[in-house]
A and B are shown apart, each in its own frame.
Chain A
Amino acid sequence: DVKVTQSSRYLVKRTGEKVFLECVQDMDHENMFWYRQDPGLGLRLIYFSYDVKMKEKGDIPEGYSVSREKKERFSLILESASTNQTSMYLCASSPPGETEAFFGQGTRLTVV
C-alpha cells in the first residue's frame, strides 16, 4: 500500500514567518508534487520534482520554493508566509509516465 505522509494536518503561522511543509513517500517514486487546493479553483500545481535535487515550476510557484535532498522527501517552503497562502496543501507522488498519482492527507495551513 502506497503511503504519502505529510508532517502536519493543521498548521497556523503568522504573516512573515518561514514555513516548511514536509512530505514523505515510501514507494520509491521518482516524481513528487505539491498542489494547493482552494474552493472553486480545484488543485493547482505549485512545484514538482522528477529526481533528487531536481525541481520544476508548476502553474503557481510565486511565493514558494521546494527542496528534494532525498528521493523519498519533498519539502515545500514558504519564504515569508502571507494571508493569501492560507489553503489546503496536498503532496503527491507517482512513478514516471502515465500512472496514478498518490496523495497525502493534506495540510491545512492558516496564515494569520
Chain B
Amino acid sequence: GENVEQHPSTLSVQEGDSAVIKCTYSDSASNYFPWYKQELGKRPQLIIDIRSNVGEKKDQRIAVTLNKTAKHFSLHITETQPEDSAVYFCAEKISGGGADGLTFGKGTHLIIQP
C-alpha cells in the first residue's frame, strides 16, 4: 500500500485553542482523503473528508485543507473542547478501476487540557 505519514503522534492543546494535524502521501493518483476520530474504546468514525478537486472543506469547528502539488493535507480543529480528545487518523484512497482499501496514517492522540 501507499505510505501516509502523519504528524504529530501526540498533540496537547489548551481548551479553546486550535489543533492542527498534518499528513503527507506519496501517490499522486490518490484522490480521496478522509479523517477519522476514534474515542477510547470505540470504533473509528468519519468526521470530515475531502476529494482531490477541492482545496478546502469546513464543517463547523473542523476544516480540512488539501495541497495536491505538495501531496499533503491537514485537519484543523478550532475552539477545542474536552470532547475533542481522541485519536485522529488521516487516510487516503486511490479510486477507480476496482476497489481498494483506505491507507491510514499512524494516528495522532489529541489531548485537550482543561
B102 surroundings in chain A (CB, below 8 A): 33, 43, 45, 101
B104 surroundings in chain A (CB, below 8 A): 35, 42-44
B51 surroundings in chain A (CB, below 8 A): 98
User: By the criterion CB–CB under 8 Å, are A56 and B1 in contact?
Assistant: no
A101 surroundings in chain B (CB, below 8 A): 34, 46, 102
Describe B's contact surface by its main secondary structure: loop
Of residues 1 through 17 on chain B, the ones whose CB sits less than 8 Å from some CB of chain A are 1, 6, 9
User: By the criterion CB–CB under 8 Å, are A59 and B44 in contact?
Assistant: no
> In the complex the two chains form, what is the Cα distance from A104 to B44 in whole Å?
9
Binary interface profile of A, 92-112, with partner B (CB < 8 Å = 1, else 0)?
Answer: 000011101101111000000
A106 surroundings in chain B (CB, below 8 A): 43
**Does B45 touch A at the CB level, under 8 Å?**
yes
B34 surroundings in chain A (CB, below 8 A): 100-101
Q: How far is the CB of A89 from chain B (nearest CB, A)?
A: 12
> In the complex the two chains form, what is the Cα distance from A82 to B75 in whole Å?
37
**Does A30 touch B at the CB level, under 8 Å?**
yes
B95 surroundings in chain A (CB, below 8 A): 97-98
**Does A74 touch B at the CB level, under 8 Å?**
no
**Does A25 touch B at the CB level, under 8 Å?**
no
User: By the criterion CB–CB under 8 Å, are B46 and A58 in contact?
Assistant: no
User: A interface vs B, CB < 8 Å?
Assistant: 30-31, 33, 35, 40-45, 48-50, 56, 58-59, 90, 96-98, 100-101, 103-106
Task: List 18 A–B pairs whose Cβ atoms lie within 8 Å, in order of A's numbering.
Answer: A33-B101, A42-B89, A42-B104, A43-B89, A43-B104, A44-B104, A45-B101, A45-B102, A49-B99, A58-B1, A58-B101, A97-B95, A98-B32, A98-B51, A100-B46, A101-B34, A101-B46, A103-B45
Q: Which 4 A-B pairs have the closest CB atoms?
A: A50-B99, A42-B106, A98-B32, A45-B101
